[in-house]
Amino acid sequence: MAGREHVHIISAGEGIYEAYAATLRNHPDITHLFVFADVELYTNNARDEEAVRAGKDAAREAVNKVKALAPSLNVPASLVYVTPPADNSARDAILKIKKDHPHAWFSFDLSEGSKDMALALFTLALWVEGEARYSFAGRGGEAVQAKIPVPKAPVESVAANPNYIKILQTLYRPQKEGEPFARVVPRSYLFLQLSGFYVPVRKKGVKVAPNRAGKTDLFTGKRAVLHELSQGTFSNILRTMTSLDLIEEMTGPGNSRKEKFYRITPCGELALQLALLKPHTP
């Protein structure tokens, strides 16, 4: 996405400064910032209790800190007021931003603000194919971000393709304390794992590989027919799975460009677990 505009949408609240700082650690490429605030946050109501007024003051001060920080990073920041119902007001604001920045990609932080605002922005993130995240307090009190997994393909489609399942199973590792989120595997290893189990989608023109190991078909018990997996077909499978956000392509150790590496995404992990669920018969 180098050179492409990156519009970041964040909802206003007391923790907005910490959430924005966490976002910058993941996305230092932000070019435009828009703070979406419930109009009630900037409305002084004589009937507000003292705690409510203090909360509003703290949230407004946090927004001011973000607006002061953004220009120092050469990121223009704008405040957008959202009136209820948030889905209509936020939608109109996003449409205007999209019109002004037609080629930008969008990211959203839904950590702060009302539930109404969070639901509206999450729905809009789906429409503009944006990335939605939220922040929470880590062990040291520092804000940590998590991506909200948004499937780009129905589970039925993933489950119906045994090649997808094999790759996801190879990459998946249940997270343990102190370990990274997922396995990082070189392309060559994935190819070897899939080549012995490859099932072609098309029925004609597929080469058959020699079955030297004498593998048998699980259903018929006869000698299995192994289909040859070409490097081109394998690249297409990886490209499709990456576009569906099932896996993520990465650079190798030391930023080596000699071989590509892959790991499963939160969407891929969820898709795998749902695809492997067996429906219970009554």
Ordered structural domains, the chain, with CATH = 6-147 (3.40.50.11700), 155-275 (1.10.10.10)
Q: Which residue has the tokens 């729905």?
A: 123
Burial of 103 by CB count in 10 Å (0-12 exposed, 13-18 middle, 19+ buried)?
exposed
Question: Residue 218: what pLDDT?
Answer: 45
**180: Cβ contacts below 8 Å, ≥ 6 apart:** none
Q: Are 197 and 162 in contact (CB under 8 A)?
A: yes
Structure tokens at 172: 């998946």
Which DSSP letter does residue 111 get?
S
User: Which 8-state DSSP code applies to residue 140?
Assistant: T
pLDDT in tens, the chain (282 residues): 457 899 999 999 998 998 898 888 888 899 999 999 999 999 888 888 999 899 999 999 999 999 999 888 999 999 999 998 888 999 999 999 999 999 999 999 998 888 899 999 999 998 888 889 887 766 666 667 778 877 788 888 899 999 999 999 999 987 665 555 568 899 999 999 998 888 887 655 455 555 545 555 444 445 555 678 899 999 999 999 999 999 999 877 666 667 899 999 888 988 998 888 865 444
Residues 236/229, Cβ–Cβ less than 8 Å: no
C-beta separation of 85 from 114 below 8 A: no
Whole-structure pTM value: 0.66
